[in-house]
Structure 1
């Protein structure tokens, strides 16, 4: 940057170069004072622009170095606050990390994801689960772009095959009784409470239930609610009259041992019943897939089959939207389907038209 006086033009001329484009610029002034003031202002602007340019270059360099592992760690630490959502997402993300953790995030491509999907299929993973795992990676990449960690999402145009969740029929009455007969005591409690109260089976709800949450005098329990779109930390569930005597027996047993949690093993709260559950299925000679969570599905299914209204079932299960019951939990049985088609009145008088069949 410089100031010169041009005799021919009778002008003071300021010359400077744009740090972004590298182009040279000039501007003339009638007096030296104005030229000096302009030069000073342009020098300050140029200094700020050069600082921004250096920052942009450093950012671009860091963008090219961020790994998938570092990206996902930052994404879970900064983009999420719900611990339940984080735990679920981290489980699925662990499979992505096994495949791409060491790779640079910006260098992933469509073929990488197709190879990952194929490898998952070979291990028996359903397409809907593959989509969820890839979806977590793509969400993290989008978040990185929004926050300046990546210049672009390399998977922005990726399209995966549409997949539907595989519905697992809840345990039948016969299967539930068979499991209850052979299960370990703590699993028996899970079966009974799962079928009678419809909680989420796991550490988000049922395994957090303590005896202080159970009021045997008023036949009401306060089920801790999973942190999924809930404004309250629990919901009130009436205790069935046939369940009350069983709960009293459990309470007397646990209170003598100073056990706080309703579901416990060896006096301690449990985090998982996976192994004990599969052992119970084997002992009950049940070969098809049934998950502990399907007890919750069974609660909704059989409550609706018993003419319970959808709104009450949704409230008991902790759903804000009652449509979740119809879309997810009602496994309609053959008898219910037959009852549905027989429920409508015979407005055509078909029963009296035995001799002439319409439509022939």
Structure 2
């Protein structure tokens, strides 16, 4: 445990930013600290940058239509916020260059606005004094960051020398663990994935000029709407041995939260539903995915997984095998809460490695072949 908590700043305080802050206060130290033997949180949010006014930030922290009331105290303290007695400085800058990140004494910026996805964007934060940036979205290219991390899969590849890291996407965090388990145990020939995703704020409530994708100009709560997805590309960055074997599409559905992946797999050998479910159930019960992957065969609906911190919950009751090798799976995930928890896990591990003395927990700085 460091001599002080790691100081982090949130850039952007929308759905992801607020869930990250709330998850930190609700869960304490979280998965990463637990596995490293710490009994207390090692992260402390000291600053938030967002263009909204202070009363709105305070109100939306206290009350959330999806996740309920904040289970603590939230107050306005002058031009800043005070959460559970912790003073959090509020900044209102439209660009990263307008902030002296070094003066904040932070160890990491959690970029949660979703507005930046290139290496040039990341360099803007670094040039303004940010020591490191963890992005809450997949980047435009693998080369845009020093590493793309899915916690439970490749966080051990971090050397500590990285300055720009991506937390991938909520769908990648859901799909990659399942695919890795089955590819290692049986082998995957080809993969087709449909993301069934709850509505997002890039869609209007009623038809409106809202997006260059004309489908996204349509009312989010009146239709099932196909949208573009970079999921196949994101999976290939984490599991490069599957490059060229994956296709993906996505539809948005009229729900507030919780999504699922409908995954079809052509296996490398004959199998059956019992074997597939056994492999995924065992991966959820022990090993590096315990606490990240869950398994159920209960008759669930999507709302049952609201506020669920797992990266993926396999619904074994929906596993199907057609012929000897064509497998279909269903995996649930809270696209807000699960992802926010993984972002905290990656942040904590990243900072522990980055600040460890040489020879005391740092890994080799060799190229990250599994994620670049």
TM-score range, shorter chain: under 0.3
More helix by share: 1
TM-score w.r.t. length of structure 2: 0.23
Q: Greater RCO between the two (CA within 8 Å, min separation 6)?
A: 2
The higher radius of gyration belongs to 1
